[in-house]
Amino acid sequence: PSAKSVPRHARAPRAAHDRSRSQDHQAPRPRRTWAPTRASPSDGNGASPPSTDTVERLIIIGSGPAGYTAAIYAARANLRPLVYEGYQAGGSPGGQLMTTNEVENFPGFPDGITGPDLMDLMRRQAERWGARLVTEDVESVDLGARPFTVRGTDTTARAHSLIIATGATAKRLGIPSESTYWSAGISACAICDGASPLFRNQPLVVVGGGDTAVEEAMYLTKYGTHVHLLVRGSRLRASGAMQQRVARAPRVTVHYNTRVEDVEGDGRLLTGVRTVGADGGGEARTIPARGLFYGIGHQPNSGFLEGQLELDAGGYVAVGAGGATSVPGVFAAGDLHDKEWRQAGLVMVLYSAPSCAPCRTVKPILNKLVDEFEGKVNFVEIDIEEDSEIAQAAGVHSTPTLQFFKQKERVLHQPGVKMKREYRALIESNL
């Protein structure tokens, strides 16, 4: 399962946002780091502490959906992976889901499940198949030559291969009451939490001025009575298409030159967002709201990889096919590299309808081309009957219609059906 499918991201590792170490500091973490795990059902041997005398076949750095999923698959393949879980706020592994009260969109849990419970199940499943868990942070790695060296808080280990899944941490505002109302009205993922009963038919607030914030504001109009978008600057930084969408949204109000001073509540749930001018001046006001959503981005947990792996300008790990990094034998999973899966590389969007016969011809052609270009192209299909607002905002009036997006800007609008070689040429000209 992807970290993106669950609260960010989550990573991490989204990420299902897996995803990272929270910045919310609570109890001091324990120093004892090694706890023997149960025996693997495949070999009957108990776990043993990591040692530099032994070269592991695989070390996984990070927990959460990406890290634990990698551990489960590796353990079932008899690789006996060693997993450095890392710490979450309060001294427990599991990524950003450890700070999520309810997960409503993870397959297999129709009634929902708490983030900590979901991570506990994943952890137990990894242990059951023989993954060996070390509950400590990794402070540094040496990727100069195989075997690679991993230095934890209290242990050091070596391995022929690494999977790094340390995720990305949601950026926070640092307001005084943030920790009090985190997951009790404050969220860093509208897609993950917006459908919660807590926010339905309630006024909501989103902070941010980029595409992420605008996307979250538009998404929340499905559930909230009204959405207030708070922008520190005098204009939005979102793409032109996104700005047009929010300008046409009757249930979204954009407040420019505004920042959040703090939130208000009854000690249990958030009831309002207190704002002032972006420069600290201006009249203070309180916007009644049940939810405050951060659309200000994430910070990848990649500091310990600087100078070791190729990172992009935002600090995310650059990867190729299969999550391969710039160092052979080292792979990245989850939000550590998947910073924005919807906009990774070239994105093809096919607008279709159930009654559209030509759409059934186009879709398999595009799927084959996606495979042909090996991770350089992503494919999304939108049903214009189910998502008529999206189609209307995109200027789509007939099916099939194909649009290409690159760096969040539309670079192609192509209605009708073409031959496979013509679609291939269009992709090549836009990569």
Please pick, among 126, 359, 377, 427, the residue that the annotation labels catalytic. Answer: 359
Cβ partners under 8 Å of residue 286, min gap 6: 264, 272, 273, 274, 275
- The helix-helix angle for 211-220 and 240-247 (nearest 10°) equals 30
Q: Determine the 3-state secondary structure of 52 from DSSP.
A: coil
Burial class of residue 409, CB neighbours in 10 A (0-12, 13-18, 19+): exposed
Q: Determine the 3-state secondary structure of 288 from DSSP.
A: strand
Cβ partners under 8 Å of residue 296, min gap 6: 171, 173, 207, 208, 212, 213
CA 162 to the chain's CA centroid: 21
Closest CA to 134 of 62, 58, 42: 62
159 near 147, Cβ under 8 Å? yes
In 200-256 the beta strands, taken as DSSP E runs, fall at 203-207, 226-230, 252-255
What letter represents residue 328's amino acid?
P
Cβ partners under 8 Å of residue 32, min gap 6: none
Dihedral of the CA atoms 104, 99, 67, 306 (nearest 10)?
A: 130
184 near 31, Cβ under 8 Å? no
Please pick, among 287, 356, 382, 427, the residue that the annotation labels catalytic. Answer: 356
Q: Determine the 3-state secondary structure of 371 from DSSP.
A: helix
Mark whether 359 is an active-site residue.
yes
329 near 146, Cβ under 8 Å? yes
Q: Which helix (H) or strand (E) holds 392?
A: helix 388-393
- CB atoms inside a 10 Å sphere around CB 402: 22
Dihedral of the CA atoms 58, 59, 64, 65 (nearest 10)?
A: -10
Q: What is the DSSP string of 182-196?
A: BTTTEES-HHHHTTS
Catalytic residues: 356, 359
